[in-house]
Chains A and B, each alone.
Chain A
C-alpha cells in the first residue's frame, strides 16, 4: 500500500474510533477504584464498574427494599443513597417492611417516578417472576440484588452464592477439624444446612456449603441434614428435633443468612447443647458482630456480605447497565472469626457497645 494512502487510512480509522459512541464513553474521565474506596470511608468498598464523572443524562434509580428495618437491608439502603449522591443520580426507594406480597404493588407505585432502572432484593421466584415479567413488558431494566438467577431477569447482581457457601464451609471445616482434636474427638458429626427453598439464592448458597463440607469431612448422605422453614417447620424446632434424635452427636451448621442460624443455635443453647454445635453464618451484619464479640463457644464466625458495599455496588451496576459499560461481579470474601472480631468491630462500629 502506498505510504500516504496507508497514513490516510490510519487517520480515518482513528477518527472513526474516536467518534464512535462507545469510544466517547471510554474517553470521558471516570471514577477510579481508589476514588470509590475513599468515598466509602471505613467500608472501603471495591468498584463494580468505572463510571463517568459526568453521567450522560439524569437517571432515576428505583429500589423496593424488602425491609428497611432489617439490619442487613437497612444498610443496603444507606449504601445506595450514598452511591447515588456520589454519582449524582436520583434514587427513590419504597419499603416493603417485611411484607414481600406488597412488592409487586410497590413496583407499580414506583413507576410514577419514571424510573430508568428498578430493582428489589433477597427474593425468590414467587416475587421476581411477576415483576421481572412486568419490567420486560415495560422495557424497563430490572437490576436485582441477591435474588439468584431468574429467567425473566437478564442480569443477576449480588453475592456469588456458590462461592459464599463454599468459602463458609471451608472455614467451618477448619474449625471442626480443630475441635475434633479436642472436645469433639471421636464424636459422630452431622452437617446441618439451614436453607429456604423458595429463594433460589439460598438453595445455591447452602447447597454449595453442604457439598464442600461433606466432601472435606468425608460424610455420607445420612450425616448431611437439611432444615427448611418454608416447609412449615421453623429452624429452631427443626434443630430441637435433630438434637433429640442424636443425643450424643455434634453438629456443624451453615444457614442461608445469619438470623436463620441463630434460631437453631439458641435452640441448642436452650437444650444445654451449645458445646455440641459449630455455627458459621453468611451475612455478618451488626447483630452477628454483637454476638461474635461475646465469643460464644459454638459460634465460629461469619462471611461478611458487606451490605453497605453491596448497596453501593447496586447503584454502580444499574448505572453501568444504563451507560452500557462492562461490569465486574460483586466480590465479598471478608471472613471474621472470633480471633479477629475485636479489631473488626472497632473498625466498623467503634469501641462502644
Chain B
C-alpha cells in the first residue's frame, strides 16, 4: 500500500501532461532523491557520534538517552499531527493555542469544578476537536486556505483560554495539582516516561493508518491533488475534517501531558514552537501529498539530540540558534530540491 501511495502520488499530475523522463534522467533523479532521503539519517548518526565523542561517559548513558526521548516526546506528538496535515495538503498553525485551550478547559473542570477525571478529560479533548472541526468547516465551506484559517482559529482558541484564565486564575496560570494528574503525566511504565510511550503509540498508529488503510491512501491523494482525488471518488472534505480534528486532538493531548507534569496551565504552554522545521527536515512536502511518518520521527529525534547535546556542551545560545536555523534553511533547500526532482 505504501508503494501504491507513492505511485498514486507521483502520478497525481492533475491532468497536466508531463514530459516522459528518459532512463538516464530517471536514474539521476532517483539517485538525487536517494541522497536527499539519506541526509536525515546521516545527520542523526553524525550528531550522535559527535556528541558521544565530545561528551564521553555522559552522552551515551541510559539516563541521557532516555532524556533525549523525553525531550522529543511531547513536541513529537504535535509534529506527528502536523505531518499528517501537511501530507493532506493542509497546514495547522493553531496547535499551540488549541493545546492551551484544551489544558485550560481540563483544569477548569477537573481542578476548579472538581469533575471526575474521565469526563473532564473527555470534555477537554472535545474542546480540542471543536477547534479542529471549526478549522475544517472554514477550509471546506468558505474555501479559505488552511494557513490563514488555523491562524485565525488559533487566536480564537487563545482568546477563549484567556477567558478561562481570567475567570479562575488570579496569577495568570491555572493550577493542576489535584491527584492523580501529575502521577499520570510523570508515570514511567517499564522505566520509560509515559510521554515517550504516547509518542511511540501515536507514530505507530499513524504509520499504520498512512500505509495500510484506505484512509491513508486518501490522505496522500487529497494532498497530492484534491481535484483529482475528488474525481476518483475520495470524499475530500471528510478527509480534511478528519485530519484537522486529529491534529487538534494530538495538540491537546500533548499539552495535557505537559501541563500535568508542570502542575499548572499557562498561556505560554507551548510544547513545541517550530514544528515546521522538523517536518521539512523529514521531507514532508509543503505542497502536500508526500512524506513519511518514520522520517518525521527521525527528524524529531535529531532536534532532540541537537538540543540536549548542545545544552550539555553549554555552548552559547546563539550557536544553538544558528545551528537550528541552518538546519531549517537546509531543510527548506532539500524540500525545494525534492519538489523540483519530483515534478521533473
Closest to A108 in B: B67
A10 at the interface (CB under 8 A from B): no
A197 touches B320 (CB 8 A): no
Given the known interface contacts A105-B67, A108-B70, the answer about A95 and B314 at a Cβ–Cβ threshold of 8 Å is yes
B159 touches A104 (CB 8 A): no
A177 at the interface (CB under 8 A from B): no
- In the complex, what distance in Å separates the CA atom of A126 from the CA atom of B103? 12
Which residues of B lie under 8 Å from residue A213 when comparing CB positions? none
Which residues of B lie under 8 Å from residue A124 when comparing CB positions? 171-173, 266
Which residues of A lie under 8 Å from residue B264 when comparing CB positions? 125-126, 129-130
- In the complex, what distance in Å separates the CA atom of A221 from the CA atom of B61? 58
Which residues of B lie under 8 Å from residue A200 when comparing CB positions? 171
A109 at the interface (CB under 8 A from B): yes
- Which one of B171, B271, B318 lies within 8 Å of A125 (CB-CB)? B171
A69 touches B172 (CB 8 A): no
Question: In A103-130, which residues have CB < 8 Å from any B CB?
Answer: 104-106, 108-109, 111-113, 124-127, 129-130
Please give the distance in Å from A90's CB to the nearest CB on chain B: 12
B71 at the interface (CB under 8 A from A): yes
B64 at the interface (CB under 8 A from A): yes
Which residues of B lie under 8 Å from residue A129 when comparing CB positions? 175, 177, 262-264
Please give the number of chain B residues whose Cβ is less than 8 angstroms from any Cβ of chain A in the complex. 42
Question: In A177-218, which residues have CB < 8 Å from any B CB?
Answer: 196-200, 203
- Bits for B249-265, please: 1 = Cβ < 8 Å to A, else 0: 00000000010011111
Which residues of B lie under 8 Å from residue A93 when comparing CB positions? 314
Given the known interface contacts A95-B317, A99-B273, A112-B61, the answer about A230 and B70 at a Cβ–Cβ threshold of 8 Å is no
Closest to A203 in B: B171
Please give the distance in Å from A36's CB to the nearest CB on chain B: 25
Question: In B224-281, which residues have CB < 8 Å from any A CB?
Answer: 258, 261-271, 273
Q: When A and B form their complex, what is the total count of cross-chain residue pairs whose Cβ atoms lie within 8 Å?
A: 111
Question: In B60-75, which residues have CB < 8 Å from any A CB?
Answer: 61, 63-64, 67, 70-71
- In the complex, what distance in Å separates the CA atom of A101 from the CA atom of B159? 20
Given the known interface contacts A95-B317, A130-B262, the answer about A198 and B268 at a Cβ–Cβ threshold of 8 Å is yes
- In the complex, what distance in Å separates the CA atom of A198 from the CA atom of B265? 10
A102 touches B171 (CB 8 A): no
- In the complex, what distance in Å separates the CA atom of A109 from the CA atom of B67? 6
Which residues of B lie under 8 Å from residue A106 when comparing CB positions? 311
- In the complex, what distance in Å separates the CA atom of A113 from the CA atom of B307? 16
With A105-B70, A198-B171 known, 17 other A-B pairs at CB within 8 A are: A67-B317, A69-B318, A95-B314, A95-B316, A95-B317, A100-B268, A101-B270, A112-B61, A126-B173, A129-B175, A129-B177, A130-B263, A133-B182, A198-B267, A198-B268, A203-B171, A230-B267
A-B contacts, 26 listed (Cβ < 8 Å): A68-B317, A95-B316, A95-B320, A97-B321, A100-B268, A101-B269, A101-B270, A104-B262, A105-B70, A105-B71, A112-B58, A112-B64, A112-B312, A124-B266, A125-B263, A126-B269, A129-B175, A129-B263, A198-B173, A198-B266, A203-B171, A228-B172, A231-B166, A232-B158, A232-B162, A232-B267
